Structure 1
Amino acid sequence: MIENGKNRHTVWLTDEAWNMVGGEYKADGCSTQNEYIEKAIRFYTGCRKADRNERYLIDAISGVLETRLGALGDRIGKLLFKMAVEESMMMRLLAMDESLTFSELEHLRKWAIQTVRKTDGGLNFDDILRIQQ
């Protein structure tokens, strides 16, 4: 029998569940217990779909972030290696000058800190050599 586009279905419920429907359907603004049950089924199904979609989005976003962060890590690693090479060259040249005193070294350190802050760390040995000349 089809009534208002709906079919009759037999559903087995515990007495406790049926009593819950009877006590809540009017408070929810439903005109019948069937309307309340259908609404509850749609709500629960929507929650389950949202949970699956949320997990899908979390997995998708996680995959993108892992890829991007991996590339960022590689880039930072390469930049740190470049900086270590530049620093090694600088320390070797500085150590070759035996006339340098510790107070001069401290003055040089302060100058280097200020220069790096001004240039946001974008200096290399060639830039410093140009400044010195």
Structure 2
Amino acid sequence: DMLYEADNCKSKTEFIEKAIRFYCGYLLNKDSVAAEYAATQITAITEGIVKGTEQRLSRALFKVAVELGAVSHMLAAVHEIDDDTMIKLRTMCTDEVKRINGIINFEKAVRYQRN
């Protein structure tokens, strides 16, 4: 009971299936088929890791986009910025993000705006 939960299996059946696959791989390891077994297992593990990372990044980006949208609307509500200034600001920000590789420093932005 402890082992299947520690292995993050949703059921005992899933744990038993994984154990059987592992044992079959162990038996195949004695033959030339081992490389095929290992490649399949590595592929499955890698795909799982990539999918999990992809999901976490997607959720994080969604949250950032929501916050950025809220900040943008608040700024737009309190400041009257003409279209020309807005276009220049977007161009400046695009160039800056490219130059600094996306690592934005708030203190540097404040100093820039004060000048």
Q: TM-score, structure 2 length as denominator?
A: 0.55
Distance 1:97 1:128 in 2: 23
Runs of 4+ in structure 1 displaced over 4 angstroms?
126-129
Cα distance, 1:71–1:127 mapped onto 2, change above 3 Å: farther
Cα distance, 1:78–1:119 mapped onto 2, change above 3 Å: farther
Max Rg structure: 1
Larger helix percent: 2
Q: CA RMSD in A?
A: 2.7
- The match for 1:111 is 92
Q: TM-score, structure 1 length as denominator?
A: 0.49
* Letter of the structure 2 residue corresponding to residue 116 of structure 1: V
**Alignment gaps of 5+ in structure 1:** 1-48
Q: What does 1:5-24 correspond to in 2, within 5 Å?
A: none
Distance 1:123 1:62 in 2: 36
Matched, 1:68 2:49: yes
Higher RCO, 1 vs 2 (CA within 8 Å, ≥6 residues apart)? 1
Cα distance, 1:59–1:66 mapped onto 2, change above 3 Å: same
